[in-house]
Amino acid sequence: MARNLMPSKKTNATPAVVVQKIPRDKHPISRKDISENAIKVLYRLHKGGFDAYLVGGCVRDLLLGITPKDFDVVTNATPEQVRQLFKNCRLIGRRFRLAHIMFGRDIIEVATFRGPHEEDKTKNSNVSRTNDEGMILRDNVYGTIEEDAVRRDFTVNALYYNIADFAIYDFVGGMADLEEGVLKLIGDPEERYREDPVRMLRAVRFATKLGLRIDDSCRNPIPRLAHLLDDIPAARLFEEFLKVFMSGKAVANFEVLNEHGLMAPLFPVLKMPLKDPASIEYRMVHQAFTDTDERLQAGKSVNPGFLFAAILWYPMLARANEISQEASFTEYESYQMAAADAVSLQARSISIPKRFSLPMRDIWILQLRLTQTAPRKALRLLSHPKFRAGYDFLLLRAKVEGDKQLHSLAAFWTKMQAENPGVAPSPSKPVAKRRRPRRRRPPRKS
């Protein structure tokens, strides 16, 4: 196999780039800090006659002294050639073809160098396609490492660690930006945001996570282009929601996102209330994010369903009041219908999987049941599988609203748990479902 075998014919000239090579003795990255499985992948690609580099967030984090969550590899081998080298490989993706090398639960992602994007006009093209807004829909265009570097989003994410000589290769000034503490996009910011609007969310997340300042050229277009997030699949935005709000920087991310108009496309129902920091909706969202950050810092678990319940609580409550006034439904029925409406409406922007939306609805319904303080009913409610989540939500409401009745109700349930230890299920240990006895078949008659 030829080391510099290029998978595709170039259609555009490569933009002029000046490579800066940082030798091993000039940077802190050591092989002992790299995943053992990633090292295996790098060396096998290298021995197979291909170029092999670590790239992206893992290189950036290692330079900052942060332990990377995953290690991404880039090479000049096509996905099909990667699969020939690894038996434990599967190919995924339509927008851009990737190879996943699986070592049990650990997955090393291997990508082929991307080339300059140019839409293929042929009818049966599976290579490259964009929509009317300029967003890339399909992008299986391969190229060189220089072309790959200028196709990446931020300069600090375009640093390459070469397994052949253990040096870092910088084509776009990422090392200088990292040292200066500034986050810059590669190329024209507006064009890059149009290619992939999620980059606006990533800009905020990287800035707060790494303590970087977003360069003005990247910051200024965001409010004007925030509406482009409407075209992003709801399932993808759910994954971004987890990264943005469940990584320990929820409050900081919320404030920056809200300042730049990025919360409105994520939660359209809160577009107006979040403009007013004094509104009850704003205070609830801010407090929920504050509590989430505190729990993560304390090493406690967090649940997306609880967070969605807090964010959408007041819109759901307003809808329940509308339903109860329009028809003669009970309060319980109004809550049930309003909860279904809230989940359905939110799914247009961020989809919420059932494993989170169902507990979220349980939390809301429990706010009604927690008002029933008769001794028998109260004792029975303590054993509800979602009681602890509903109780924590009641405490959150009391903290945000400052209502005396809510505080009194929260005190009652706190006392009930103290007087009946072991009855309420632990939040970290869900109640196991009791198995039905297995029916035995009658013996066959001879």
pLDDT digits (tens, 9 = 90+) for 318-334: 999 999 988 788 999 99
- pLDDT-based confidence at residue 136 (cuts at 50, 70, 90): very low
Query: What does the alpha-carbon distance between residue 240 and residue 247 come to, in Å, rounded to a whole number?
Result: 11
Structure tokens at 435: 């198995």
What percent of the chain has a predicted confidence (pLDDT) above 70? 86
- pLDDT-based confidence at residue 123 (cuts at 50, 70, 90): very low
With b for 16 or more beta-carbon neighbours within 10 A and e for fewer, the 45-80 pattern comes to bbebebbbbbbbbbbbbbbeeeebeebbbbbbbbbe
Contacts of 133 (CB under 8 A, 6+ apart): 194, 228, 231
CB-based contact 27:64 (threshold 8 Å): no
- The yes-or-no verdict on residue 129 having pLDDT over 60 is no
pLDDT of the residue at 133: 53
Q: Can you tell me which residue has the tokens 């093209």?
A: 125
Nearest to 384 by CA among 339, 423, 410, 414: 423
In the chain, list all ranges with CATH 3.30.460.10: 1-180
pLDDT of the residue at 1: 36
Could you confirm whether 362 is annotated as catalytic?
Answer: no
3-state SS, residue 73: strand
- The yes-or-no verdict on residue 8 having pLDDT over 70 is no
Average pLDDT over residues 406-423: 91
- Give how far the C-alpha of residue 58 lies from the chain's centroid of Cα atoms, to the nearest Å: 17
Contacts of 103 (CB under 8 A, 6+ apart): 37, 40, 88
pLDDT digits (tens, 9 = 90+) for 349-385: 999 999 999 999 999 999 999 999 998 999 999 999 9
3-state SS, residue 147: helix
- Give how far the C-alpha of residue 263 lies from the chain's centroid of Cα atoms, to the nearest Å: 15
Average pLDDT over residues 115-127: 55
- The yes-or-no verdict on residue 16 having pLDDT over 60 is no
pLDDT of the residue at 137: 46
Structure tokens at 1: 């196999």
On the 0-12 / 13-18 / 19+ scale of CB atoms within 10 A, 324 is middle
In the chain, list all ranges with CATH 1.10.3090.10: 303-419
Average pLDDT over residues 208-222: 96
Nearest to 397 by CA among 420, 371, 375, 379: 371
Q: Which of 70, 106, 165, 216 is catalytic?
A: 70
pLDDT digits (tens, 9 = 90+) for 237-272: 999 999 999 999 999 999 999 999 999 999 999 999
The DSSP string of 364-389 is HHHHHHTT---HHHHHHHHT-TTHHH
In the chain, list all ranges with CATH 1.10.110: 188-277
Nearest to 431 by CA among 393, 387, 365, 380: 387
Q: Can you tell me which residue has the tokens 């332990």?
A: 67
- CATH of span 188-277: 1.10.110
pLDDT of the residue at 427: 57
- pLDDT-based confidence at residue 140 (cuts at 50, 70, 90): low
pLDDT of the residue at 439: 65
What topology does CATH give the domain 1-180? Beta Polymerase; domain 2 (3.30.460)
- The yes-or-no verdict on residue 440 having pLDDT over 80 is no
pLDDT digits (tens, 9 = 90+) for 168-184: 999 999 999 999 999 99
What topology does CATH give the domain 303-419? cca-adding enzyme, domain 2 (1.10.3090)
pLDDT of the residue at 2: 38
pLDDT digits (tens, 9 = 90+) for 185-199: 999 999 999 999 999
368: phi then psi, degrees, rounded to nearest 5: -75, -45
pLDDT digits (tens, 9 = 90+) for 36-77: 999 999 999 999 999 999 999 999 999 999 999 999 999 999
The CB-side HSE value for 225 (13 A sphere, CA atoms) comes to 22
Q: Which of 61, 72, 170, 392 is catalytic?
A: 72
- The yes-or-no verdict on residue 82 having pLDDT over 70 is yes
Query: What does the alpha-carbon distance between residue 287 and residue 400 come to, in Å, rounded to a whole number?
Result: 7
Could you confirm whether 276 is annotated as catalytic?
Answer: no
- pLDDT-based confidence at residue 97 (cuts at 50, 70, 90): confident
Query: What does the alpha-carbon distance between residue 89 and residue 331 come to, in Å, rounded to a whole number?
Result: 54
pLDDT of the residue at 96: 76
Phi/psi-derived region of residue 299, left when phi > 0, alpha when psi is between -120 and 50, beta in every other case: left
pLDDT of the residue at 441: 67
pLDDT of the residue at 68: 94
Q: Which of 61, 139, 148, 153 is catalytic?
A: 153
CB-based contact 72:56 (threshold 8 Å): yes
pLDDT of the residue at 7: 40
- pLDDT-based confidence at residue 422 (cuts at 50, 70, 90): confident
